[in-house]
Chains A and B, each alone.
Chain A
Amino acid sequence: MSNEVNCKLKINGFLYDLTIPDDRPLIFVLRNDLNLKGTKLGCGLEQCGSCTVLIDGKKALSCNQTAVSFQGKDITTIEGIKVNSKYSVIQEAFIEFNSAQCGYCSSGIIMSLTSLFNKTALPKKDEVIKCLDNNLCRCGSHYSVLKAVEKIIANIDHKKVDN
C-alpha cells in the first residue's frame, strides 16, 4: 500500500490541504477526492489527451503523474477556465461552432488550446495542429474545433487591426 502524505495543491485558484497516497495520480485526486469531474480519464497511458490540465498555464497530462509532484504549481482544470464567471473565448467559440459531439475529449482539447493561447497571442495554423497533436477525438469533431479556433484567431487579428 502507499504512503499517506500531506499535500497542498492549488487548483483553480483554491488551495487544498489534502492527505493522500504519495503515488496517486493527479486525475484521481481531481475527480475522486475533489469532485472535479470535468477532467476525463481516457487511456491512463498519456496517449489520448482526455486528462489534459494546465500546470502554470502550460498543458500537462494528469493520468500518470502523481498529485504530490504538482505541489507549489498552479493547476487549472476545465472547471477553472471561465474568465470573471464568463465563458473563455475558446468556450464561446466551441459553443458557437458546436465543436463537440459526445464531448468526452472536449475538456482535454479545450485545455490544450487554452495553453496555446496563453503562450501565443496569435498562433499559426501549424501551431494549432501541433498543440492538438496528442488530443484524440473519435467522433470526428476535429473540423468544428478547427473552425472555432480559426474564428478566435480571426477575431484577435481583427482587433489588432482595429487598434
Chain B
Amino acid sequence: MSKLSSGPSIKIYNLVSNWIIFDNNKVKILSGKVDIGQHITTTLSIIASRELDISIDKIEVLNLTTKKSPDEGFTAGSLSVSHSGTAVKAASITFRNLFIEHVLSKFNVEIDDLNIENGIAKILGTNQFFSYWDFAQLDNYNDIKITEFIQNRIVPINPKKQPIKNKTITNIVTGNHKFIQDLDFPNMMHARVLRPLNYFSKLKYIDNKLILNLKNNNINVLIKGSFIAIIGSDEFEVIKALNKLKHSCEWENLENINNRNVFEMLSNNKKDSLLVKSGGEAFYEKIPDKHIYDDKNFITLNSEYTKPYIMHGSIGPSAACSIFQNNKLKIFTHSQGVYQTRGAICEALKVKEQDVEMIFMPSAGCYGHNGADDAAFEAGIISMTFPDKHILLKWTREDENCWEPYGSATLSKISGTLDLKGNIVYWSHETFADTFMTRPSKGGAHNFLSYKYINNDFQKRDQLPKTAPHMGIHRNLDPLYNFKKTRLVKNLVHNLPLRTSALRGLGAFGNILAIESFMNELAFTANIDPLTFRLNHLDDNRAKEVLINLKAQMDKSVLKKNNARGIAFARYKNSAAYCAVGIEISVSDNAEITLINSWISIDAGEIVYPEGIHSQLEGGLIQAASWTIYEQVEYDTRSILSKDWDEYKIIGFNNIPKINVSIIERIGDPFLGVGEVVAGPVSAAIANALFDLLGVRFKNLPFSKDKIKSELLK
C-alpha cells in the first residue's frame, strides 16, 4: 500500500464531489488553485485524465469561484501541484476504485469480465454497460469520502500515457485566450483610479468645474476621501479624463518617502529579531552572541549581501470587473487568494460573505501579490456606487509600477568558520527585510492600497513577524547543509520606505543568494572546488544527486575561452524540489553580463507534466537573471521613479542563455513544486561565475554594468 501525502486540501475538502463533477458527459475539476501562467489547469487535467483513465478532451478545469470551489488558500509557495494535484489524484483514484467495485457487485461479475474505456465499463459478452456519469448520479455520490491513504488502484491505469495537450496554448497563439482585461458585458463601464502623489498624500483640492464638465460628457468621477475614480462607457475617454483631472488635483503631502540608504535602515531601524532553528521555524528567544573561534585552528569569514526593492512588473497591469446588483456583489479577479481577498473586501465594504461572489479570471503573470487584490477592492467600491452595470477597472502602467507592493530590499549578514580540514564548523546568518506578507484577508482590509485613501487613514501599522517554518523573511534561511553549529536570525525591520509583500520566492531569493555565494567564498578559502565542498556538507542523497547530475550535464559541453561558470544549489523551503543550477557567462566590452549557457538539474518527485516543469524552470531562470543583472526600484523623496519600462529595465531577448533542464524523475514519490525553486540558485550561480571570471566577489544586486565597470576600473 502506498501512501499519498495528503496535504491540507484533502483534509478540509474530503469528498470526491469537492473536486470532481461528472456533468453532461464531461468531467469537471474544481480546484482552489488558480492558473497564473504556471498551467496548473493543464497539470490537473493530466492527473484526472490519467487516474480516471479517460480522454483529456473530456476534462475541464473550472475557474475558481467562491460559490463552489474549494478554498485552498493562496496560489503561492510552489504548492499548486502538491496541494490541488494531490487532492485531484486521490479523489480520482477513490472514485475509480469505488466505481469498479460498484460495477462488479451490480452486475455480479469479475474484473476480467470488464472492459473500461473512457469512463464506460462494458460487461464483456453482454450489451450491458455502466458509466462514471451513471455512478455519479447515485444518491451517495456526494457523500463519497476520499480515501487518502490507500492509493492502490483496483485496476491499473493505462500505462500508455496519453499525448499531453496544453489546453491553453492554442487559444494563446490565436488571441482567443480570455484575460480579465478582455471581459466585455452589455453596458459595461470602464474605470481608472487617479492615484495620489505618494503613499501619504491627502486630497486637498479637486477642480469641481472640470468634474461637472466631464459629467456633461458622460464621464463620472467618484470621490471617497482621497480615493478618486473615473468611470465612463468609453475606455479611451476615461483615460483622457484621468490625465486631465490628474493635473487639476492638489495634495497635502503628509510625509515624504525616506530615501536614505535602505540597507543602512535595514541594519539600524527598529526591528523584531527572532531565532530560527533547524527545521526553519522562528522563535521569540534571546539571540545568542556570535561564537568566536580562535584564528590558529580556524578561519572565519564574514560577508554581507544585499538585494534592492524589485517589482513584480506584470506585463498586463492589474484589473478587475465588478457588478453590484440586487444587493449582491460579483467580482471577477485575478487574485492569487480569491477567498482571502473576498474576506478583506467584505470587511472593508461591510458586506456579508454570502453576498459577495468572486470568480477567478486569468491575467498576465503576476508572480506574487501585485495589484490584483487592490483592483478587485477598487472595482467593488466603484460598482457599489454605480450599480447594475459591470465596471471594468484597469490599472495603468504607472499604477502598476509605482503602487504595487514590491519585493522587499534585503540584507544578509553571514559568517562562517572553517576548521583546518576545510569543514564548516560554524555558520551564522542574520537576514533583514521588510514584510513579504501583506496580502489582504479577513482582518487585514487595511492592506488594500485604497483603504487608506478612502478612509484618509494614514496610520502606519507594524507587521508582526511570522514564525512558521520558512515563512516570508526566513524562507530558506535554514540551510540544507549539515553545519555543526548554526545561528540563524530573522529580522523583520520596521519604518522602511516602500510598500512590500509577496514576490516569487519571498525571502528565499536573498537568503539563497547569500548562502550560495558564501559557500563559494568558503570553498575558495578552503581551496576545495565548490561542488566537492557542497557535497562534503550534504547528507541528503537527493540533494547530492542533483548536484552530481548537474556536473555531468555541464561536463557535456566545453567551457569557452573568456567565459566562466558558476554553480549553486537549494531545496526551496527545504521541502519543495531539489534544484542545482549552473550558469556560463561572459562580460561584454561595456561591462554587461552576457548569459551564455545554463543547466538546471532538478528532482521534483513524480512528474506529471514535464513541459510545464520546463516552462516554470526556464521562466524562473530568466526572471531571476533579470533581477540579478538589471532590476532595482528607484525612488526619491516625492515618488517612485521606476514608473515605466524605460525607467525599470528588465531582461530582453538579447540576453537569453541556452537552457538545459535535466529532470531526475521519481515515480511514485510525492509531487514537489517547482515554481520558485530556481531563482535563488540562479542569482548565486551568476555571482559565482562572475567571481571566477573577474576575481571580484559581487555581493550587491543588481550586478549592473555600472557596478561591474567601477570594479574593473579599481
Task: Give chain A's interface residues, CB within 8 Å of chain B.
Answer: 1-2, 21, 23-25, 28, 31-32, 35-45, 47-48, 50, 77-79, 82, 87, 90-91, 94-95, 98-107, 110, 128-129, 132-133, 135-146
B172 at the interface (CB under 8 A from A): yes
Q: Tell whether, in the assembled complex, residue A94 and residue B169 are in contact, meaning their CB atoms are under 8 Å apart.
A: yes
- Verify A133–B652 contact, CB threshold 8 A: yes
How far does the Cβ of B236 sit from chain A's closest Cβ, in whole Å? 5
Q: A28-B235, A43-B397, A45-B645 are in contact. Are A35 and B184 (CB under 8 A)?
A: yes
B365 touches A104 (CB 8 A): yes
- Binding site secondary structure of chain A: loop
Chain B residue with minimal CB distance to A107?
B175
B182 at the interface (CB under 8 A from A): yes
Q: Is B644 at the interface (CB under 8 A from chain A)?
A: yes
Closest CB-CB distance, B230 to chain A, in whole Å? 15
B583 to chain A, nearest CB (A): 13
- Residue contacts A-B, CB under 8 angstroms, 5 given: A2-B237, A40-B181, A44-B239, A100-B169, A103-B172
User: What residues on B are CB-neighbors of A135 within 8 Å?
Assistant: 653
The reply to whether B659 and A47 contact each other, CB–CB distance below 8 Å, is no
Whether A45 touches B313, Cβ cut-off 8 Å, given contacts A87-B173, A101-B38, A104-B364, is no
Is there contact, CB below 8 Å, between B623 and A140? Answer: yes
Q: A32-B235, A40-B316, A91-B174 in contact; A101/B166 too (CB < 8 A)?
A: no
Interface size on B, residues (CB 8 A): 63
- B:347-386 near A, CB below 8 Å: 362-365, 367
Q: How many A-B contacts are there with CB distance less than 8 Å?
A: 169
Q: If A25-B236, A138-B623 touch, does A48 touch B315 (CB 8 Å cutoff)? A: yes
Given the interface pairs A104-B179, A142-B653, the reply to whether A82 lies near B174 with Cβ below 8 Å is yes
Contact with A along B135-176 (1 / 0, CB 8 A): 000000000000000000000000000000010111111111
Contacts A50-B315, A98-B611, A138-B315 given: A38-B364 contact, CB under 8 Å?
Answer: no
Residue from A42, A44, A133, A146 in contact with B315 in the complex, judged by beta carbons closer than 8 Å? A42
CA distance A106 to B174 in the complex (A): 9
CB A123 to nearest CB in B, in angstroms, measures: 13
A-side contacts of B239, CB under 8 Å: 44
With A and B bound together, what is the CA distance between A104 and B586 in angstroms? 31
A40-B181, A47-B645 known; 13 new pairs, CB 8 Å cut-off, are: A23-B240, A38-B175, A42-B315, A78-B173, A95-B170, A98-B614, A102-B37, A102-B364, A102-B365, A107-B175, A140-B620, A140-B626, A142-B622
Of B611, B620, B654, most buried by chain A (CB within 10 Å of CB) is: B654
A78 x B174 contact (CB < 8 A): yes
A21: chain B residues at CB < 8 Å are 236-237
Contact pick for B365, options A28, A36, A101, CB 8 Å: A101
Q: Are A129 and B653 in contact (CB under 8 A)?
A: yes
Asked if B168 and A142 make an inter-chain contact with CB atoms under 8 angstroms apart, the answer reads no
Cβ of B314 under 8 Å from chain A: yes
Residues of A within 8 A of B178 (CB): 37
Which residues in A have their C-beta under 8 angstroms from that of B614?
A: 98, 144
Enumerate chain A residues within 8 angstroms of B177, measured Cβ to Cβ: 103
